[in-house]
Amino acid sequence: MNLLAAIREQFARALVLLGVEPGELSNYTSLVLTSQDAKFGDYQANCAMPLGKRLGKPPREVAAQLVAALELGAICERPEIAGPGFINLRVKDDWLASQVAGFLSDPERQGVPQTASPRTYVIDYSSPNVAKPMHVGHIRSTVIGDALCRILKFAGHQVISDNHLGDWGTQFGMILYGLKHFADAKALNNQTLEELTRLYKLVNSLVEYHDTRKEKLPALEARLAEAERTAARLSAVSPPSDAKEAKQAAKKVRQQEAAVVELRSELAELRAKVAAVEADATLGKLAAEHAGIGQQVLQETARLHSGDATNIELWRKYLPACLTEMEAMYARLGVRFDHTLGESYYQDRLRGVVKDLCEKKLARESDGAICVFLEGHDVPMIVQKQDGAFLYGTTDLATIQYRMNHWRPDAILYVVDHRQSLHFEQLFAVARLWGYGGVELQHIAFGTVLGDDGKPFKTRSGASVGLASLLDEAVERAYAIVSQNDDARPEAMLSEVERRQVAERIGIGAIKYADLAHNRTSDYVFSYDKMLAMTGNTAAYMQYSYARVKSIFTKVIADSGLPVADTRPDATILLGTPQERALALALVQFAEALDRVTTDYRPNHLTAYLFDLATHYSTFFEHCPVLRAETEALRASRLALCNLTARTLRQGLELLGIEVVERM
């Protein structure tokens, strides 16, 4: 158990003695927290105030009763009661020192306990649509999913990772259409990956062109007209006499006018896109010739699904090429999956799913489609369309059934863009009705990656940025930084090979860390400058901190002439200064940070922790001479703290999927 959990457990005991019902305990124990300011001790309990109110007693009296019931004597100094009834706890120095000393002989886990209740998790992540180039959005799923896998595994859970590829949807219909209409007939069976990507992009842009002209433009025009009418109506109203009301009315007018401006610029953008296609001699001609392309792409997809021999053959032939590119990306990111069971894997189960749902009276026909109506949802979940086609959700239901039958998980986590939340709400509701009420189904949603302009991240030309070029650019920039950072001393210079390797780790680490350090549910602005900064909460700073600690050991080795630094597992830890003590406490709190991640599946708890640790280390290093410590014992203790910091940083980064560098 970690320190915070141990303290909370004591509070729970004390709260029960004061008459709190077991069901209400967590309302109060959740108010026992790591303190934000050392002057309030290391941990702080704010539960005496609400409990006092509840029991009708003065909070300070309740606090005193809680304190009297706590059995924390071995770990903490006598708790202090402050202000209206805050309980401040300070960890005993000798307890801290002995804990930290214990970590020295536990290099694998640094005192992080294994969970007492291991579960089986299936983590569905990355899951790109093949044939479509991966983009920056997929990286979030991949990076967050990978970090969660690593952290849950480290905590002692069984983790099954599954890449639920979109290998059977419309995007393949686009390739099929492209192969049949735009590829050299003789070369039909011989397309390179570049050619497939070109075909996909071409068909996609034609589909989009027609869709924009026929659907999006008219819809946007209607919205604009409506907004303009509202704006005109609002500004025609004479202002109310009351000053406050007049101000509010004026504000409303301004907001509406701003909305009109926004819609006009959106419309101009769409019109420009359409015009660009028409102005392009080749593209314009193709667009005119392939007016029905949207429908036909759907037909190609439907033919694939119904087992059409040509389409199946082309699909079999070209799927591997699409996968190769993705695999190269995963290898570069250091991500691997236990399973890659794409949507196609479940195709022969879909009929059975719909049949079963109908037999159980969960689904029924409505307007020709087969739907599951859900309480509290305005729209039903469609599981089979009028034309017989199955949907994304039908596949997801079949997937749940398969996973439950084969792996019997306690939880299935879906690391997917927040724009799919409605899909998952419906999916989980249907799955529960269908009999899968016992498994924890969680949508691990994440926000959008934005560009400087606050809009979804795009290149200057407007295309969404391919993942490979994104990584390349980060690595190039890291290389420039590494080259520039060169120390003048020849022995400190990295060789070209080392520099390339370090740049790869720093560049990829920067992208991953930036993704993980943001609260996953919020959008974030993608900025190479920020993510590669050498100070602040960045991978580069963590990697630099790690390399800096390691350089001390390089020095120790050089001075002693021994092949390895002497880091004795039996060193006594001395915590004579506030900086040493703060660093020791931070080391002990690694387990708490990891626990937080496994509680709400947010890796940013770990990045925040690592930043905190690196900051404490930096303060320690400024104030406490290590190699020149006054006594041999102090030197051994401080070296041990350095060693543990390095190990924790390395372990922490590794759990985020980020590699350290020994020198940079």
CB of 128 to ligand ARG, least distance (A): 5
CA distance 446 to 434: 27
Q: Which is nearer to ligand ARG, 141 or 643 (CB)?
A: 141
CB of residue 392 to ligand ARG, shortest distance in Å: 7
Whole-number minimum distance, CB 595 to ligand ARG, in Å? 27
What residues numbered 346-405 form the site for ligand ARG, per CB under 6 A? 396, 399
Span from 124-132, 150-158, 189-197, 212-220 in contact with ligand ARG (CB under 6 A): 124-132
- Window of 127-135, 433-441, 452-460, 612-620 that interacts with ligand ARG by CB under 6 A: 127-135
Site string for ligand ARG, 196-225 (x = CB under 6 A): ------------------------------
Least distance to ligand ARG, CB of residue 44, Å: 41
Which secondary-structure segment (H or E) carries 363? Answer: strand 363-366
Of 301, 298, 284, 133, which Cα lies nearest the Cα of 213? 284
- For ligand ARG, which residue of 8, 150, 157, 164 counts as binding (CB under 6 A)? 164
Nearer to ligand ARG, 193 or 445 (CB): 445
Closer by beta carbon to ligand ARG, 127 or else 543: 127
440-446: strand order across its sheet: 158-162, 120-124, 411-417, 440-446
- Nearer of residues 114 and 421 to ligand ARG, judged by Cβ: 421
Q: Strand 158-162 vs strand 120-124: parallel, antiparallel, or unpaired?
A: parallel
- Minimum distance from residue 303 beta carbon to ligand ARG (Å): 21
Site string for ligand ARG, 620-639 (x = CB under 6 A): --------------------
Shortest CB 469 distance to ligand ARG, Å: 19
Candidates 88-96, 97-105, 112-120, 122-130: pick the segment binding ligand ARG (CB under 6 A).
Answer: 122-130
In whole angstroms, what is the distance from residue 245 CA to residue 253 CA?
Answer: 12
Query: How far apart are CB 204 and ligand ARG at their closest, in Å?
Result: 14
Segment 562 to 581, residues that bind ligand ARG, using CB under 6 A? none
Least distance CB 640 / ligand ARG (angstroms)? 45
By CB under 6 A, tell whether 127 contacts ligand ARG. yes
Rounded least distance, CB 520 to ligand ARG, Å = 15
3-state secondary structure of 600: helix
Give the Cα separation of 397 and 426 in Å (integer).
Answer: 11
Write out the two tokens for 417: 């863009």
Query: Residue 43 phi/psi, 5° resolution?
Result: -130, 155
Beta carbons within 8 Å of 394's beta carbon, 6+ residues apart: 350, 353, 354, 383, 384
- The first and second tokens of residue 546, run together, are 């790690």
Classify residue 312 as exposed, middle or buried by CB count within 10 Å of its CB (0-12, 13-18, 19+).
middle
Choice from 128, 294, 409, 509 touching ligand ARG (CB under 6 A):
128
- The reply to whether 129 sits near ligand ARG by the rule CB under 6 A is yes
| 42, 124, 195, 300: which one binds ligand ARG (CB under 6 A) | 124
Amino acid identity of residue 549, one-letter, is: V
Stretch that binds ligand ARG, among 40-48, 120-128, 238-246, 475-483 (CB under 6 A): 120-128
Token pair 């920056």 in the structure block, residue = 136
What's at 441, amino acid-wise?
A: L
Out of 145, 166, 509, 652, the only residue in the binding site for ligand ARG (CB under 6 A) is 166
Would you tell me how many other CB atoms lie within 10 Å of the CB of residue 310? 14
* CA separation for the pair 584, 593 (Å, rounded): 15
Which is nearer to ligand ARG, 392 or 528 (by Cβ)? 392
Name the one residue in this structure whose structure tokens are 């001790």: 41
Q: State whether the Cα torsion 300-303-309-314 is positive or negative.
A: positive
Question: Residue 189 carries which DSSP code?
Answer: T
Least CB distance from residue 325 to ligand ARG, whole Å? 15
Looking at beta carbons only, is 42 or 162 nearer to ligand ARG? 162
Measure the CA–CA gap between 337 and 325, rounded to whole angstroms. 15
Does the protein bind ligand ARG through residue 416 (CB under 6 A)?
yes
Q: Which residues contact 248 (CB under 8 A, 6 or more apart)?
A: none
What's 544-584 look like in SS3? HHHHHHHHHHHHHHHHHCCCCCCCCCCCCCCCCCHHHHHHH
Q: What's the CA gap between 173 and 197, in Å, rounded?
A: 13
Question: Does residue 87 contact residue 45 with C-beta atoms inside 8 Å?
Answer: yes
Q: Is 414 in the site for ligand ARG (CB under 6 A)?
A: yes
Q: Residue 123 or residue 646: which is nearer to ligand ARG going by CB?
A: 123
CB 231 → ligand ARG: shortest distance, Å? Answer: 36
**Residue span binding ligand ARG (CB under 6 A) among the ranges 111-119, 123-131, 574-582, 634-642:** 123-131
Which of these ranges, 125-133, 180-188, 275-283, 467-475, lies near ligand ARG under the rule CB under 6 A?
Answer: 125-133
Residues that bind ligand ARG (CB under 6 A): 124, 127-129, 164, 166, 396, 399, 414, 416
